[in-house]
Amino acid sequence: MKVKTILVSQPEPKVENSPYFELQQKHKVKVDFRPFIHVEGVSAKDVRLQKIDFKNYTAIILTSKNSVDHFFRVADEMRYKIPEDLKYFCQSEAVAFYLQKYVVYRKRKIYVGQKDFVDMSSLIKKYKDEKFLLPASDQLNADAPQTLNNLKVDWTAATLYKTVMSDLSDLADVYYDVLVFFSPTGIKSLFKNFPDFKQNNTRIAVFGSTTQKEALESGLTVNIMAPTPEAPSMTMAIEKYVAKANKESK
């Protein structure tokens, strides 16, 4: 069946050269964006209930822009003056670059990984005697605890923000040929908002094995999967599927 409309369960990209816009123009499909989940901050009071005191830590591990934003937000709420010698371990260059929103880069001790959490192992290993704080969401990726435990460092996770399912009631009567998901929580949000959802002719695209697992366990048929050796990105996987489906439907 031909694909004419696609709903991506993420915010609309802010860059003009997004592959989604290229996909839209090349294949004459309508691509809409709507986050199925969003992030909410945890209050300083709730952070204290976790027995977290920022002054007890000498290094911060930052894995995302959200972790940066919420670390500095909670520090501000706690009236915690961040020491200049605090060490920042950033999972990627993008996170390190974003850190400049809050600190003067050249005056801070900042260490940058390649991309994945495991990539930071060698950096963290050099500073094994530090006391590490890991600002995280309520859905902490298993890679982080496993890596830090293997390194035998002194570390603590602090839940500073949580992932919440968005209200999608305005989409009740809207139909899309393809729904695109990037996390298990996105799938859960679909069924929380629409408990009677029937897939029928809707194609489901998923990114990652955990999202695929959630989709299958929810009774969905996965039609588009990424990443794969042939399609390392979601847009490549969608384009491959759309090109084939629309060609066969002519």
Concatenating the DSSP letter of every residue in 31-84 gives EEE--SEEEEEPPHHHHHHTT--GGG-SEEEE-SHHHHHHHHHHHHHTT----T
Domain count, the chain: 2
Whether the per-residue pLDDT at 186 is higher than 80: the answer is: yes
Statement to judge: residues 50 and 158 lie in one domain: yes
The pTM (predicted TM-score) of the whole model is: 0.76
SS3 8: strand
Domain boundary among 163, 192, 220: 163
Statement to judge: residues 69 and 156 lie in one domain: yes
Confidence at 219, pLDDT banded by 50, 70, 90: very high
| CATH code at position 58 | 3.40.50.10090
Residue with the two structure tokens 């794969």? 228
Average pLDDT over residues 100-126: 85
Whether the per-residue pLDDT at 132 is higher than 90: the answer is: yes
Q: How distant, in Å, are the alpha carbons of 91, 166, 179, 202 from that of 9? A: 24, 10, 7, 14
Per-residue confidence (pLDDT) for residue 104, from 0 to 100: 79
Q: Residue type at 81?
A: K
Domain boundary among 163, 187, 219: 163
Q: What are 225-232's contacts with CB under 8 Å, separation 24+?
A: none
Strand partners of residue 59? 87, 132
Statement to judge: residues 54 and 155 lie in one domain: yes
Statement to judge: residues 151 and 55 lie in one domain: yes
Confidence at 250, pLDDT banded by 50, 70, 90: low
Domain boundary among 163, 192, 223: 163
Going by C-alpha positions, the residue among 162, 161, 217, 167 that lies closest to residue 187 is 217
The residue segments making up the domain with residue 153 are: 40-163
Statement to judge: residues 155 and 229 lie in one domain: no
Statement to judge: residues 152 and 239 lie in one domain: no
Statement to judge: residues 19 and 120 lie in one domain: no
Statement to judge: residues 21 and 127 lie in one domain: no
Confidence at 153, pLDDT banded by 50, 70, 90: very high
Query: Count of alpha carbons within 13 Å of 202, Cβ hemisphere only?
Result: 17
Which percentage of the chain shows pLDDT scores above 70? 99
Average pLDDT over residues 4-32: 92
Sign, CA dihedral 186-188-192-195, equals positive
Per-residue confidence (pLDDT) for residue 14, from 0 to 100: 85
Find out whether 143 and 117 touch, Cβ atoms under 8 Å.
Answer: yes
Statement to judge: residues 228 and 150 lie in one domain: no
Statement to judge: residues 67 and 155 lie in one domain: yes
Whether the per-residue pLDDT at 53 is higher than 80: the answer is: yes
Statement to judge: residues 61 and 135 lie in one domain: yes
CA distance 89 to 96: 8
Q: Please write the tens of the pLDDT for every residue from 61-108.
A: 999 999 999 999 999 999 999 998 999 999 889 999 999 999 877 778
